[in-house]
Amino acid sequence: MSEEHAGGTAKKFLYVNRKAPYGTIYGLESLEVVLIGAAFEQDVSLAFLGDGVYQLAKGQDTKGLEVKNFSPTFGALEDYDVTKLYVEEEALQARGLSAADLVVPVEVVDTRRMAEIMEDQDVILSF
Amino acid sequence: MKFSILVNEGPYTHQASDTAYQFVKAALAKGHEIYRVFFYHDGVNNGTRLTVPPQDDRNIVKRWSELAAQHKLDLVLCIAAAQRRGLMDKSEAKRNGKDADNIAPGFRISGLGQLIEAGIQADRLVVFGA
């Protein structure tokens, strides 16, 4: 795989977000990798599975938790040319959410399609 | 094959670091190359030389240091994750006005770009933990 990318061709990076935005630091530190990684001009996608879909939920208020609400940062991803955001349909439905409840436009895909997207990647970072 | 490794959990609480270590050791024994081991989230705690486990337990940090010395491994602690959790090398301690450093031999502190580059350079990036 490294040979075919030796000429500087971009690899396909997928960041898989599986955890709720607060309670653990995984969501925030995953987003930090995405922002730093953007400078490397790779072919980047983000996937949100399970409780990870809550990271994109509108109306987050973290004042009582005394931690930073990082959901507005997802709105800035477009400026970093990160525009492929896939959200698992079953995860949204199980939590009573729809695409309209999310802070950014996403592509809602079922678990089968999500598996195909994963299959198509070179590098998967799961948090 | 050329592997890069991401360790996302600290020592002792989670098995991730143990499994990553066994994987790296097995891969090297089979003649594979380890391009880099990157420690992120609580994984940076695998790089403190101040750990003192009970004598009848494995010494996870020392084990990584020894493997690094033996195979010239590149063990990298994420700087942002390390700063949050109090992992310091000499220059970071000085830069941040701290009175001590605690990084173990064989580890170095660097940026998240090293993780992305590890993904680009390796044939496979294998994630342990999280």
pLDDT confidence of residue A8: 62
pLDDT greater than 50 at residue B100: yes
Residues of B in contact with A40 (CB under 8 A): 113, 116-117, 120
Is B33 in CB contact (< 8 Å) with chain A?
no
| 3-state class (DSSP) for residue A4 | coil
Q: Which of B34, B78, B81, B109 is catalytic?
A: B78
pLDDT confidence of residue B63: 98
Q: What is the pLDDT of residues A21-49, one digit of tens each?
A: 999 999 999 999 999 999 999 999 999 99
- Asked if A2's CB is within 8 angstroms of B123's CB, the reply is yes
Long-range own/partner contacts, residues B85-88 (CB < 8 A, 24 or more apart):
B85/B42, B85/B44, B85/B45, B87/B44, B87/B45, B87/B47, B87/B48
Tokens (6 digits) for A101: 């409840």
% of chain A with per-residue pLDDT over 90:
92
- Asked if B40's CB is within 8 angstroms of A29's CB, the reply is yes
The predicted model gives A56-79 an average pLDDT of: 96
Poorest-confidence range of A4-8, A67-71, B17-21? A4-8
Residues in chain B: 130
- Tell me which residue of A87, A115, A15, A120 sits closest to B8, measured CA to CA: A15
Domain B2-128 has CATH 1.10.600.10: no
Q: What's chain B's average pLDDT? A: 97
- Asked if B130's CB is within 8 angstroms of A26's CB, the reply is yes
Domain boundaries along the sequence of chain A: 12-126
Is A110 in CB contact (< 8 Å) with chain B?
no
Question: Which runs of consecutive H residues, i.e. helices, occur in chain B?
Answer: 16-29, 60-71, 79-85, 90-95, 113-121
Is A41 in CB contact (< 8 Å) with chain B?
no
* Binding-face residues of A in 61-80 toward B, CB within 8 A: none
Domain boundaries along the sequence of chain B: 2-128
The architecture that CATH gives domain A12-126 is: 3-Layer(aba) Sandwich (3.40)
Q: What is the pLDDT of residues B87-99, one digit of tens each?
A: 999 999 999 999 9
pLDDT confidence of residue B70: 98
User: From the list A1, A13, A36, which residue is nearest B123 (CB)?
Assistant: A1
Contact B115, B6 (CB under 8 A): yes
pLDDT confidence of residue B130: 80
Q: What is the pLDDT of residues B44-81, one digit of tens each?
A: 999 999 999 999 999 999 999 999 999 999 999 999 99
Q: What's chain A's average pLDDT? A: 93
* Binding-face residues of B in 5-24 toward A, CB within 8 A: 6, 8
Is B119 in CB contact (< 8 Å) with chain A?
yes
Which ipTM value was assigned to this complex? 0.89
Nearest CA in chain B to A18: B130
Q: What is the pLDDT of residues B10-37, one digit of tens each?
A: 999 999 999 999 999 999 999 999 999 9
Residues of A in contact with B80 (CB under 8 A): 29, 32
